[in-house]
C-alpha cells in the first residue's frame, strides 16, 4: 500500500512510494502486516476507494484477494437464506418491503413451513440456515427461539438470524435457543443520512443493538449500502471503519437498487465498481471476516458473484425460500435470486467455484474469536 510519505508515520501503514505528486495512494499496493492494517483509518481508506480504473483498481483487488486467501483461505461458505416474512413495521426510504408500500402483497411463513424449508436446505447440503424477515413483531422472541431449536434438531448446522432491531432481552432468548449469528446492517455510518433514510430510527439505536448482540455472544454481521442518495466517499470510508470498531464477524456490502414503489424510485443504482472497491477495502480492514457476495451485486452485474469472490468475498448466500413466496420479498425489483432453483442452486455454485479454483467449505463457517485467530505467515498472508 502506498501513501504519501508525509503521512506514513501517523498512519503506521507501510508505504512504497514513487514520490507521489498528489498525496493520494500510489499503486501497486505493497505489503504490510496485520498490526499495521489495524491502523487503516478514514484518511487511508478514501484514496483506496478512489483507485483509478485499470492498474490501480486491479492492484487493490489483487491485494484483497491475497488477503482473503491468506486469512480465510480458498473455501467458500454457502449459507441458505429463508425469507420468512415480508411484513415490516419500518419505512426505510429505499426498501420495497417498507410498511408504506401498499402495493406489495404480504406473506408470513408458518413455523412448520420454515422448518420444512430448513430441513430441505440441510438435506441439500447447507450447513448454515439464515432466517431473514422484515421487522415483524408478529413472531415473538419465543416463536423464533422455538424455530431455532427445531432447526438445530435437524443436525449440526448453524442458524443465523436477521430479524431487525429487538430489545436485548429478546436477543438473549434467541441466543439461549441456540442461534449462532445475527445480521443487522448499519446501512450508513452517517447519522444524519441514517435519520433521513430511516424515519423514526437512529444510527445510535442500531449500534446499541449490534453491541448488545456482540455482548450476548452472537457472531455479528453488519454492512452497508453503496450509492445511497446523499452518500459520499468519506461516508463509505467511515462505513468501513465502523465495521472495524464494531469488530464484526461478517459484513455485507451491496449496491443500492431503486425500487419503483419507494421515495427513492428515481435515483440511480449504486456503482458496481465502487461496491467491489469497498468490498476489497473491507477485506483489508477485516482480514478474518466472512464477507458475502451480495445478491444486489449479482442483480446489477451478471458475473457479480465471480467478481466479488475475486475481491475479498468468501461467502455465498443462495435463496432457499419456497418459490411461491420468493418474488414477494422484493426489497428491490428483479433480484438475481428469483432465478435460483428451489435448493438455491448449490450444485451449480459448487461447479462455478471449482472453475475459479475455489471450493465449497466443509465447515459451518464460524468466525473464530479474536484471541484464537491465527495470523498467517507473512509470505502466505496478504499484502505482499
Question: According to CB under 6 A, which residues from 275 to 334 bind ligand SF4?
Answer: 331
Instruction: Based on the shown chain and the rule CB under 6 A, indicate whether residue 36 belongs to the binding site for ligand SF4.
Output: no
* Binding track, positions 328-357, relative to ligand SF4; x by CB under 6 A: ---x--------------------------
255, 269 in Cβ contact below 8 A?
yes
Q: How many residues sit close enough to ligand SF4 to count as binding (CB under 6 A)?
A: 10
Cβ within 8 Å of residue 330, ≥6 positions away: 86, 96, 97, 104, 259
135, 158 in Cβ contact below 8 A?
no
Reading the block at residue 115, the C-alpha cell is 422448518
Question: According to CB under 6 A, which residues from 141 to 180 bind ligand SF4?
Answer: 164
Please report how close the Cβ of residue 134 comes to ligand SF4 at its closest, in angstroms.
4
Cβ within 8 Å of residue 68, ≥6 positions away: 283, 287, 291, 312, 313, 314
Nearer to ligand SF4, 335 or 382 (CB): 335
What is the DSSP secondary-structure string of 148-215? HHHHHTTSS-EEEEE-----HHHHHHHHHTT--EEE---B-S-HHHHHHHSTT--HHHHHHHHHHHHH
Nearer to ligand SF4, 135 or 261 (CB): 135
Nearer to ligand SF4, 4 or 86 (CB): 86
Nearer to ligand SF4, 223 or 344 (CB): 223
- H/E element, 299: helix 295-300
Judged by CB under 6 A, which of 47, 80, 121, 134 binds ligand SF4? 134
CA distance 287 to 83: 29
Instruction: Based on the shown chain and the rule CB under 6 A, indicate whether residue 186 belongs to the binding site for ligand SF4.
Output: no
Nearer to ligand SF4, 134 or 312 (CB): 134
41, 245 in Cβ contact below 8 A?
no
Cβ within 8 Å of residue 325, ≥6 positions away: 83, 86, 107, 109
Listed ranges 89-97, 251-259, 285-293, 362-370: which one lies at the site for ligand SF4 (CB under 6 A): 89-97
Nearer to ligand SF4, 50 or 162 (CB): 162
What is the DSSP secondary-structure string of 42-64? HHHHHHHHTPPTTHHHHHHHHHH
Instruction: Based on the shown chain and the rule CB under 6 A, indicate whether residue 81 belongs to the binding site for ligand SF4.
Output: no
CA distance 371 to 233: 32
Reading the block at residue 335, the C-alpha cell is 433480484
Question: According to CB under 6 A, which residues from 250 to 279 bind ligand SF4?
Answer: none
What is the DSSP secondary-structure string of 126-161? -SEEEEEESS-TTS-HHHHHHHHHHHHTTSS-EEEE
Please report how close the Cβ of residue 3 comes to ligand SF4 at its closest, in angstroms.
36
Nearer to ligand SF4, 99 or 146 (CB): 99
Instruction: Based on the shown chain and the rule CB under 6 A, indicate whether residue 223 belongs to the binding site for ligand SF4.
Output: no
Nearer to ligand SF4, 134 or 254 (CB): 134
Please report how close the Cβ of residue 83 comes to ligand SF4 at its closest, in angstroms.
10
Please report how close the Cβ of residue 345 comes to ligand SF4 at its closest, in angstroms.
24
* Binding track, positions 92-121, relative to ligand SF4; x by CB under 6 A: x--x-xx-----------------------
- Which has the closest alpha carbon to 93: 270, 231, 228? 228
250, 290 in Cβ contact below 8 A?
yes
Nearer to ligand SF4, 152 or 166 (CB): 166
Please report how close the Cβ of residue 310 comes to ligand SF4 at its closest, in angstroms.
28
Judged by CB under 6 A, which of 3, 45, 48, 88 binds ligand SF4? 88
- H/E element, 6: none
43, 7 in Cβ contact below 8 A?
yes
Nearer to ligand SF4, 92 or 280 (CB): 92
- Using a 10 angstrom Cβ sphere, with 0-12 exposed, 13-18 middle and 19 or more buried, the burial of residue 197 is buried
Instruction: Based on the shown chain and the rule CB under 6 A, indicate whether residue 90 belongs to the binding site for ligand SF4.
Output: yes
Please report how close the Cβ of residue 320 comes to ligand SF4 at its closest, in angstroms.
19
Binding site for ligand SF4 (CB under 6 A): 88, 90, 92, 95, 97-98, 134-135, 164, 331
Amino acid at each position: 500500500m502506498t501513501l504519501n510519505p508525509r503521512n506514513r508515520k501517523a498512519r503506521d501503514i507501510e508505504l512504497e512510494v514513487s514520490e507521489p505528486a498528489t498525496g493520494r495512494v500510489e499503486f501497486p499496493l505493497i505489503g504490510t502486516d496485520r498490526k499495521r492494517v489495524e491502523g487503516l483509518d478514514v484518511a487511508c481508506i478514501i484514496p483506496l476507494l478512489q483507485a483509478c480504473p485499470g492498474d490501480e483498481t486491479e492492484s487493490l483487488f489483487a491485494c484483497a484477494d491475497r488477503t482473503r486467501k491468506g486469512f480465510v483461505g480458498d473455501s467458500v461458505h454457502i449459507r441458505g437464506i429463508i425469507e420468512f416474512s415480508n411484513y415490516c413495521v419500518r419505512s426505510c426510504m429505499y426498501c420495497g418491503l417498507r410498511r408504506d408500500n401498499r402495493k406489495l402483497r404480504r406473506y408470513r411463513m408458518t413455523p412448520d413451513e420454515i422448518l420444512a424449508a430448513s430441513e430441505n436446505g440441510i438435506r441439500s447440503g447447507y450447513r448454515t440456515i439464515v432466517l431473514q424477515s422484515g421487522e415483524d413483531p408478529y413472531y415473538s422472541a419465543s416463536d423464533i427461539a422455538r424455530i431455532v431449536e427445531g432447526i438445530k434438531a435437524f443436525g449440526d448446522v448453524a442458524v443465523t438470524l436477521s430479524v431487525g432491531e429487538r430489545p436485548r432481552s429478546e436477543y438473549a432468548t434467541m441466543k439461549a435457543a441456540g442461534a449462532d449469528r445475527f445480521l443487522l446492517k448499519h446501512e450508513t455510518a452517517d447519522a444524519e443520512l441514517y435519520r433521513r433514510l430511516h424515519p423514526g430510527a437512529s444510527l445510535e439505536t442500531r449500534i446499541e443493538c449490534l453491541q448488545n448482540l456482540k455482548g450476548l455472544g452472537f457472531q455479528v454481521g453488519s454492512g452497508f449500502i453503496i450509492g445511497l442518495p446523499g452518500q459520499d466517499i468519506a461516508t463509505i470510508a467511515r462505513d468501513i471503519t465502523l465495521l472495524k470498531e464494531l469488530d464484526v464477524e461478517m459484513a455485507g456490502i451491496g449496491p443500492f437498487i431503486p425500487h419503483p414503489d419507494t421515495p427513492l424510485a428515481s435515483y440511480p443504482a449504486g456503482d458496481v465498481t465502487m461496491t467491489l472497491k469497498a468490498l476489497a477495502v473491507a477485506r483489508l480492514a477485516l482480514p478474518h471476516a466472512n464477507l458475502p457476495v451480495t445478491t444486489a451485486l449479482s442483480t446489477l452485474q451478471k458475473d457479480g458473484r465471480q467478481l466479488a469472490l475475486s475481491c475479498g468475498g468468501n461467502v455465498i448466500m443462495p435463496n432457499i425460500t419456497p418459490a411461491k413466496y420468493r418474488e414477494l420479498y422484493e426489497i428491490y425489483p428483479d433480484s438475481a435470486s428469483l432465478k435460483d432453483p428451489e435448493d438455491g442452486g448449490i450444485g451449480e455454485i459448487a461447479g462455478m467455484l471449482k472453475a475459479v479454483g475455489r471450493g465449497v467449505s466443509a465447515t459451518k463457517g464460524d468466525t473464530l474469536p479474536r484471541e484464537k485467530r491465527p495470523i498467517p505467515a507473512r509470505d502466505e498472508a496478504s499484502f505482499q
